[in-house]
Structure 1
Amino acid sequence: MAQPWREDRCGSPSRCLKARHDNDYIDISQIRIFPTAEEIASQCPEFLPSIDFSSPHFLVDPLKRYIDSNYRLLRHDIFGPVKELLRRTVPSLDQKLPSSARNVYCAGVEGLLVNLPEIISATFKPVLERLQRISQTGGLRFQHWILPILAGQTRMPPPAYARRTGFQFYLESIAKPILANLVISPMVSANDMGVTSKLESCTELDPGQYQGLVAALTREFTLIQGPPGTGESYLGVQLVRILLRSKSEAHLGPIIIICFTNHALDQFLERLIEVGVHNVVRIGSQSQSQTLCDKILEGSRNSTPKTRLENATIAKAYSQLDLTVRSIEGSLSEMRKVRNGETWGKQFQAALAGKLVGKLDQAESLRQTLDEVHQGVDCRALLTADVIGITATGLAKATKMLQRMHDNGYWLNHPYLEDDQDDGNGRSCSNEWEVQMAKALVGHIIRQGAYDSADIAVLTPYTRQLRKMRAAMRTEFEVLLSVRDEVELVRDGLETKVDGSRSRRPRGLRLLTVDNFQGEEAKIVVILLVRSNLQKTVGFLFTINRINVLLSRA
């Protein structure tokens, strides 16, 4: 249960039976992003923790404190002045509605609607929601260098892609024309006089810029700052050119450029295009640049080929959405008749409102389906780009889509042979080593805390392997088998009857044959292919459409 708290005189929170208001919690993930009426009316001062780590704070863990402080301070920056204004204004609005507004139906809810056109939720809500998720998962990249009390304790290593033996950065893209073999090692220091003097003589960079360049190339986390006009953007363009030159050697994907404002993002991407970097995709439709009009992701999406399944899903969703919209329009027409007095009755009004809400939910579900398909297409468009441009707010909104760009399929090749078969029908294959490996893998994933057993499905093409998986895993996990797989176990002589004692609870580790996974989904899918023998035969998995079915079900 969420625990409310208040601020003591010393500035640190303590648990109490009565909170200052109904949106006052220790855990920031419990705090609603938009202020509640009780929060607005509260006369108690907000708890605004200091970002100075030497100041007292109720959280000891540095990461939790950092995220907690940033969430509370950012939320106060957004809503603090608004809450103060409403706190002074709302009491004066306690007046009766004019007669022209008394026939508005409000489903039994009384309240005050406040329009704040200058506060656009899309500019802050994704960021605050992301901070709430980090407070729960603890996943903050480069936290060792970001948190003040940890930074500087060890020497910062080069980026992961630059740690391979023999790797070098090729700088001919920024060198003077007569110098084509300018390279630096990722192991050098930004203060190495030999390197910096070479860059000074071979490039157009000034001393501050070439020191920043070396630092950015040789450290996995770098902050370069300076007053306006000192060339930070120019240096950023040169960094991108160098990284693109090393893209194939370093096995790099697209470079993501993040700016706080749309204007700054447009300017930076335009400069890249001016120096010959044309394979650019900009996420977001707020660009005012004519140069970037053909680089917007929405346009790239339309030119990216779609699979037959994606085309079919889009066509079906739009068809259903069209019918739903027409139905919503009909419901609104009926409600207008109610308002105009052609029909009446509170029960009838409530029924119409309930039907309308259901149709709106259906439309939202269809919209989410379309978003999922478009995200898949967008990911393919982005993966072909050299540079992806996005604002900081857009990045918080697009986190899920960008995560989908990572490799999410992993193959494990092993030398362990399958078990001896009891018969030659090809349906009784099993591999004990794969069973034990899958059991250990599932246990490891669950112990990390990000997923539970209900998020995982373990698949195999063979019923004998399914039987062995159930026997091995039911000792540690709540295991669920489909009725169809139970029937197949009996049909293949691996069970004498359908197990009527199996768990009927909806949550648990799912074990299925591939054929019976149709129409289902899981966050993590583990597939055991089983076949490994001296004869080098794979049975029915040799058939192309069989393996296609297996991969598509996963």
Structure 2
Amino acid sequence: MSVASRDDQTPGGRHNNDFANICQIKIMPSFDEIRCSRTEYLPIVDPSQWHIPGIDGLLDRNFRLLREDTVGQIRDTVRHEIIPGANKTKPPLHRFVHRGVRLLNVGFHWLFGLYFEVDFPQPSVIVKSPVHLRQRWWEESRRLRPGDLVCLVIQKDLIVFCTVADQAMMQKRKRGLTKPQKSETASLWNNEKRASVLLKLVDSRFSNVRLILDVYSHKDPAMSLIEFPGVLLASFEPSLKALQTMKAKEDLPFPELLAPWSLNPSNSPKTWTPLYASQSGFAYNLRCLLNTDVNFYVQPGDFPTQRKQTQYLQENSTLDHGQASALIRCLNRRIGLIQGPPGTGKSYTCVALIKVLLANREEGKLGPIVCVTYTNHALDQLLEALLEHKVTSQIVRVGSQSKSEKLQEFSLSVASRWSQRTDWEKQERSTINKELRDSELKFDAIEVKRSISAGRLKLHVQQYHGRHYDQLFPQTQEDFARHDFNPPKGPAQDTFGLWIDSGSPTDAPPRSTTILEDTDVFDMSRQERVNMHGQWCRELREDVGHKIAKLVESHQLSKVGFDAIEDDMHIRFLAKAEVIGITTSGLARRYDMFQRLQCKVMICEEAGEVLEPHMLAAFLPSVEHAILIGDQQQLRPQVQSYRLSRENVQGGGRYSLDVSLFERLVSSSKVTPMSCGHMYNTLQVQRRMHPQISQLVRGTLYPHMQDISSAQHYPKIRGMRKRLYWLDHRSMEDSQEHTKKGVAQRSAAKGPLSEDGMSTSHWNKHEIEIITALVHHLVRQDYSVGEIAVLTPYLNQLQKLRQRLAKDFPIAVGDRDQNNIAHAGYMDNIRPQDLTQAKQGGLRVATVDNFQGEEAQIVLISLVRSNSQRQCGFLRTSNRINVLLSRAQHGMYIIGNSETARHVPMWAKVIDILKQGQNISKSLELMCPRHPDTVIRVSAPKDFAALSPRGGCIQRCDRPLRVIDRSMDVTINAQIHVGDPALTDAWSK
């Protein structure tokens, strides 16, 4: 049996961080783990092959796969740096390696604990730039930001993981009126030649503290800093720790539903209704949804009457039949599942569910309802909808990443300021606060900078090696004469130096320091004196290290107590809320606090986008009713490692980490052995797209999708002959060798690698110019750029579209795309508006993976791929195609090579539908607002200016034409469509 095969079977024994019990595994990799060449044990998708069965096996699998997808990438990247042979293959993560690193200072903050300052040479591209350009470069690169994970490599045989300290917060929370320490003022850009940054240890155990102190006390050891752009420890560590806690406590709810394959039929529960709804006499009152002021009770478990109840609810509320049915059935299931195809009102249904649950909150003793989403954007939208529909104002939004002005007053940090602490909390907080502040004073007293000085060493020798001290520092003339040694009157360093230099060289091997302990200092050879001096220095450093480690440990315990008091206050405040909104990552970070809240209902929107390990962290032990809303046919969760994704053709979905819990619960067992096939409801009436657009996803994925009648009357697209069109072309794609720049190709925020590996990032110059010309044409029809979105699957194409379009329009790039652009190493001078500003008029440019859940009146699509091999890349999966084709409300225009796309089954169906409606060809028909019957066909970028200058046509017109060009902010009147050369030239720029 091969090593790889054996490794796949059971965990344990590969290295010092490999255990069968996940609770024993440290989150960050050990040095031994990094050097280990054996394959990690990764549970496959078949539960019968797991090393432990049932719900424990499910937690074990999710922990190991999530750790491999995050920490495993870091582990392999560091391995490339410390093991020369590993460089034969490309590292899995894009990284920057700074060499010539120096450890400048070690400091201690009363609230944040031990930190240290390192510096390194400025990147060559900015080393000669003025300070304001260096600052701009560092800020736009979004590198080494607070919370970013880095790794210090010391002489290639020692490593320590750190995070970038939040220097601004440290300055804000500095101790009393004391001045900031010198080491609290690091700067990436102030110094022309070297950048400096403050770091904190990820793990403050004694060995790591001593390692930092050893480096600090030595003269510039060979040290490098590995930077993982955009990798935040907080993005994966809390979820991994939450899974370990669940495994240890064995308190994950709904084991019979989450892992039904392990359930003994005889132990199957008699009812699947939520426990609180199973209590005698309980019934949901849906009066709050009705147009009439009457009670409408739904008895849990009364399945025979559900059809009549659905019909009544539909007729007497604003819900359609699918929404009404989904709502009633979700109330009757411990895990309610709703599939919401694009535009079918998932959020509206979610708001209605929350409204009903709040109306029955008292009777069911539900406590706060926890609303969870994958993104901050979706969470803001949901909570704003609750306010807009006046469902409740008792909302608390947990987390600091909200961009909604409406929700500012509802944030936990703002709203809880008015909470009163108990007398005990005030007293305890004051005591702990003093302990924390004293810890900084104690650190200052240790005087780390002088801890290895000759003076300190002299005191150490005096205290622990008195006999040797008396010989080196004699007190009487007799002692001087006895050893013929006259120490200088200067610093102790001179004494130690003279003693070492006066030793006699010898060919005999030096004796051990243990033997030398009982030897006169003047009977030692020169080498033995060097060794003895080194031993004293090591003892001193270890003594100082122990003091600081003890201080760090004491500080951490005080900090835990300090945070616990804050949590107590927050828990009291949150318990009074009706709705708590939080992201999945935020919930994992506050898992311990939320465990104490005793919330019975959890609702998750965007459930199809959430990795199962992150989703499981939302299943708090107290939860009796979970409602997951998503769409398994839209984007799957994003994973780092293509090897772990279901899209991995070679792996055949062996691990399928990117299959969400939602997809696993609704899929039949024919899909994967872990599929559950639970009952779910599908919403069917879409309100977003014009029927001509919705037919593309209806004819391929959603055969039962219906269009709301008003969608048929959406306005036509001004200046265009048709609202839906594919401009077919054969202009070949471009590829950029990013290995030369150290840039790894990614589809979007954290999407899987392409089938092309990491070598190239695709873009298409022809499509960029066509898109640019089309945006100009639409703007000249009096559309605002805020009504238009440009989508593409490739990050490189996004960046080049952004650069080109920014010359003429304000650009809006979402946070996740913007982070990816920066972290991929793309540097330019554009400062795009963020998503909030986009609503005020910015042209939205996005990757498809980061546009799910959003929409635009007009969507322009650049497919990019155009090659003789007919490789479709990221757009070979129906999930991604589905999202791409379902974002437009009124008009959608696709620019791409149909021959490249046609070999993908879904694209083939889409192309056939477009051909039936004559909506695809190698020329695109524009329409002049003054001469609508004039035929205008464009196939190349230059055709727009030649055949439709200023958005019109080339016919002479007797009527004045008012043309508004928002990109130039001018208004003109012309007697003909083509006339003023100056204006024509201006538009062509």
Is the structural similarity TM-score above 0.5? yes
Cα displacement (A) at 1:245: 0.7
Quote the Cα distance in structure 2 between the aligned partners of 1:223 and 1:404: 26
Cα displacement (A) at 1:102: 11
Match in the other structure for 2:438: 323
- CA distances 1:416-436 after superposition (whole Å, capped 9, x unpaired): xxxxxxxxxxxxxxxxxxxxx
Quote the Cα distance in structure 1 between the aligned partners of 2:567 and 2:81: 43
Match in the other structure for 1:544: none
Distance 1:57 1:372, change over 3 A: closer
Confirm or deny: 8 A CA contact 2:452 2:541 kept in the other structure. no
Confirm or deny: 8 A CA contact 2:300 2:331 kept in the other structure. yes
- CA distances 1:9-61 after superposition (whole Å, capped 9, x unpaired): 5953287xxx33222222222222112222222222222222333x52222x3
Cα displacement (A) at 1:7: 6.2
Specify which of 388, 409, 420 is matched with residue 305 of structure 1.
Answer: 420
Match in the other structure for 1:216: 330
Where in structure 2 are there 5+ consecutive unaligned residues? Answer: 88-96, 106-117, 119-210, 216-220, 459-536, 600-989
Quote the Cα distance in structure 2 between the aligned partners of 1:102 and 1:280: 47
- CA distances 1:246-290 after superposition (whole Å, capped 9, x unpaired): 112222211111222222222211211222210011222232222
Quote the Cα distance in structure 2 between the aligned partners of 1:10 and 1:78: 20
Higher strand share: 2
Confirm or deny: 8 A CA contact 2:238 2:585 kept in the other structure. yes
Specify which of 46, 51, 67 is matched with residue 52 of structure 1.
Answer: 46
Quote the Cα distance in structure 2 between the aligned partners of 1:67 and 1:190: 37
Alignment partner of 1:166 is 2:278: no
Quote the Cα distance in structure 2 between the aligned partners of 1:339 and 1:289: 53
Quote the Cα distance in structure 2 between the aligned partners of 1:122 and 1:311: 30
Match in the other structure for 1:367: 559
Match in the other structure for 2:73: 81
Specify which of 246, 258, 268 is matched with residue 146 of structure 1.
Answer: 258
State the SS of the aligned residue for 1:376.
helix
- CA distances 1:81-125 after superposition (whole Å, capped 9, x unpaired): 333333333234999x96977999844589876443522222221
Greater mean alpha carbon deviation, residues 134-143 or residues 398-407: 398-407
Match in the other structure for 2:389: 275
Q: How does 1:8-19 map to 2 (within 5 A)?
A: 8-9=5-6, 11-13=8-10, 19=13
Match in the other structure for 1:130: 242
Greater mean alpha carbon deviation, residues 339-348 or residues 141-150: 339-348
Distance 1:257 1:326, change over 3 A: same
Greater mean alpha carbon deviation, residues 336-345 or residues 252-261: 336-345
Confirm or deny: 8 A CA contact 1:190 1:215 kept in the other structure. no
State the SS of the aligned residue for 1:227.
coil
Confirm or deny: 8 A CA contact 1:281 1:382 kept in the other structure. yes
Quote the Cα distance in structure 2 between the aligned partners of 1:99 and 1:400: 38
Q: Which one has more relative contact order, counting CA pairs under 8 Å at least 6 apart?
A: 2
Match in the other structure for 1:400: 592
Specify which of 346, 364, 376 is matched with residue 250 of structure 1.
Answer: 364
State the SS of the aligned residue for 1:192.
helix
Cα displacement (A) at 1:8: 4.1
- CA distances 1:203-254 after superposition (whole Å, capped 9, x unpaired): 2222322221011111122122233322222211111111111112222211
> What letter matches 1:205 in structure 2?
L
Confirm or deny: 8 A CA contact 1:172 1:181 kept in the other structure. yes
> What letter matches 2:240 in structure 1?
L
Quote the Cα distance in structure 2 between the aligned partners of 1:217 and 1:99: 59
Quote the Cα distance in structure 2 between the aligned partners of 1:112 and 1:222: 51
Distance 1:355 1:285, change over 3 A: same
Match in the other structure for 2:548: 356
Q: How does 1:24-35 map to 2 (within 5 A)?
A: 24-35=18-29
Specify which of 340, 343, 354 is matched with residue 240 of structure 1.
Answer: 354
Specify which of 280, 288, 292 is matched with residue 407 of structure 2.
Answer: 292
Match in the other structure for 1:175: 290
Cα displacement (A) at 1:147: 0.8
Distance 1:127 1:207, change over 3 A: same
Instruction: Count residues with an aligned counterpart.
Output: 394
Quote the Cα distance in structure 1 between the aligned partners of 2:597 and 2:101: 56
Distance 1:190 1:230, change over 3 A: farther
Cα displacement (A) at 1:164: 3.2
Distance 1:106 1:194, change over 3 A: closer
Cα displacement (A) at 1:350: 4.2
State the SS of the aligned residue for 1:22.
coil
Distance 1:295 1:342, change over 3 A: farther
Match in the other structure for 2:449: 336
Distance 1:142 1:225, change over 3 A: same
Confirm or deny: 8 A CA contact 2:11 2:19 kept in the other structure. no
Quote the Cα distance in structure 2 between the aligned partners of 1:191 and 1:229: 29
Match in the other structure for 1:379: 571
State the SS of the aligned residue for 2:371.
strand
State the SS of the aligned residue for 2:448.
helix
Confirm or deny: 8 A CA contact 1:335 1:349 kept in the other structure. no
State the SS of the aligned residue for 2:586.
helix
State the SS of the aligned residue for 2:287.
coil
> What letter matches 1:83 in structure 2?
R
- CA distances 1:175-200 after superposition (whole Å, capped 9, x unpaired): 22x35333322223398321221122
Greater mean alpha carbon deviation, residues 397-406 or residues 28-37: 397-406
Confirm or deny: 8 A CA contact 2:327 2:349 kept in the other structure. yes
Cα displacement (A) at 1:341: 8.8
The alignment's TM-score, normalised by the length of structure 1, stands at 0.63
State the SS of the aligned residue for 2:592.
helix
The alignment's TM-score, normalised by the length of structure 2, stands at 0.37
Specify which of 16, 23, 32 is matched with residue 38 of structure 1.
Answer: 32
